[in-house]
Structure 1
Amino acid sequence: MSTKTQKLALNDHDTAFVHPGLLHKQADLDRMKTKVAEKAEPWMSGWNKLLTNSHAALTWQPNPADTIYRGRDGVHPENYPRLYNDIAAAYATALRWKISGEKSYADKSIEIMNAWSARLKGLGGNNDVNLAAGLYGYQFANAAEIMRSYNGWAAADFTRFQQMMLHVFYPLNHNFITRKERCMSHFYANWDLCVMNSLLAIGVLCDNRDIYNDAISYFKSGAGNGAIGNAVYFIHPGGLGQWQESGRDQGHATLGIGLMGAFCEMAWNQGQDLYGYDDNRFLKGAEYVAKYNLGDSVPYVTYSNCVGVIQPVISSGGRGNMRPIWELVYNHYVNRKGLAAPNCQRMAQAVRPEGGGGNYGPNSGGYDQLGYGTLTCSLDPVK
Structure 2
Amino acid sequence: MAGSAYARLDFAPRARAVVDCGSYSKPDNGCTDERRDAVAAYTDALDWYLSGDDRYAVKAIEIMDAWSGTIRDHTNSNAPVQSGWAASIWVRPAELIRAGHDWPQAGRFAEMLRKVYLPKVVGGSQSNGNWELSMLEATVGIAVFTDGRATYDKAVSMYLDRVPAYIYLSSDGALPKVSARSNLRTPEQIIKYWQQQSTFVDGLAQETCRDFAHTGYGLSAIAHIAETSRIQHGDLYPQVADRLRAAFEFHAKYQLGEPLPENICHGHYERSLGPTTEVAYNALHNRLGLAMPETERLTAQLRPEGADMFSLWETLTHADNPH
Note whether the superposition's TM-score is higher than 0.5.
yes
Q: Which residue of 2 aligns with 1:275?
A: 237
Q: Does 1:376 align with 2:317?
A: yes
CA offset digits 1:33-86 (Å, max 9, x no partner) = xxxxxxxxxxxxxxxxx01101012111111101111117xx976221110111
In 2 relative to 1, CA 121–244 (structure 1 residues): closer, same or farther, beyond 3 Å? Answer: same
* Distance in 2 (alpha carbons) for counterparts of 1:375 and 1:77: 30
The residue correspondences of 1:287-302 to structure 2 (distance < 5 A) are 287-297=249-259
1:196-275 alignment to 2 at 5 Å? 196-221=136-161, 227-235=162-170, 240-275=202-237
CA distance in structure 2 between the aligned counterparts of 1:280 and 1:256, rounded to whole angstroms = 16
TM-score, length of structure 1 as denominator length: 0.72
Offset at 1:279? 5.8
User: Structure 1 residues 278, 174: CA separation in 2 closer, same or farther (over 3 Å shift)?
Assistant: closer
- Offset of residue 274 of structure 1: 2.2
Shift of residue 322 of structure 1? 4.8
**Paired residue type of 2:57:** A
So what's the TM-score if we normalise by structure 2?
0.84
1:169 has 2:123 as partner = no
Q: What are the residue-to-residue correspondences of 1:103-252 with 2, within 5 Å?
A: 103-126=54-77, 128-154=78-104, 157-177=105-125, 184=126, 187-221=127-161, 227-235=162-170, 240-252=202-214
Contact persistence 1:232–1:244 (CA under 8 A) = yes
Change (3 A) 1:203 1:299: farther
Distance 1:327 1:103, change over 3 A: same
What CA distance in whole angstroms lies between the structure 2 residues aligned with 1:164 and 1:370? 23
Q: Which amino acid aligns with 2:295?
A: C
Match of residue 266, structure 2, among 297, 313, 327 = 313
Partner of 1:60: 11
Cα gap change, 1:301 to 1:220, in 2 (>3 Å):
farther
Aligned pair count?
A: 293
**5+ unaligned residues in a row in structure 2: which ranges?**
174-200
Say if 1:110 and 1:153, in contact at 8 Å, map to a contact too: yes
Superposed displacement of residue 381, structure 1: 6.5
Alpha-carbon distance in structure 1 between the residues aligned to 2:168 and 2:134: 18
RMSD: 2.3
Q: For 1:69-110, what per-residue CA distance to the aligned partner results, in whole angstroms no more than 9, with x for missing partners?
A: 1117xx976221110111011000000000001111101000
Alignment check: 8 A CA contact 1:246 1:314 kept: no
Post-superposition CA distance 1:294-344 (Å, at most 9, x none): 112466877xxxxxxxxx63641x21x252221111111121222211111
Amino acid at match of 2:80: N
| In 1, Cα distance between equivalents of 2:322 and 2:98 | 30
Pair 1:84 & 2:35 matched: yes
Runs of 4+ in 1 over 4 A off after TM superposition: 297-302
| CA shift for structure 1 position 380 | 5.2
> Are residue 342 (structure 1) and residue 293 (structure 2) matched?
yes
- Cα separation, 2, equivalents of 1:265 and 1:167: 25
Contact 1:288/1:298 (<8 A) preserved: no
Q: CA deviation at 1:284?
A: 1.2
Query: CA 1:347–1:52 in structure 2 vs 1: closer, same or farther (change >3 Å)?
Result: same
Residue 291 of structure 2 aligns to a residue in which SS?
Answer: coil
Q: Which has the higher helix share?
A: 2
**Equivalent position of 1:27 in the other structure:** none
- For residues 321 and 237 of structure 2, what CA distance do their matches in structure 1 show? 19
Name the CA shift for 1:315/1:159 in 2 (closer, same or farther; >3 Å). farther
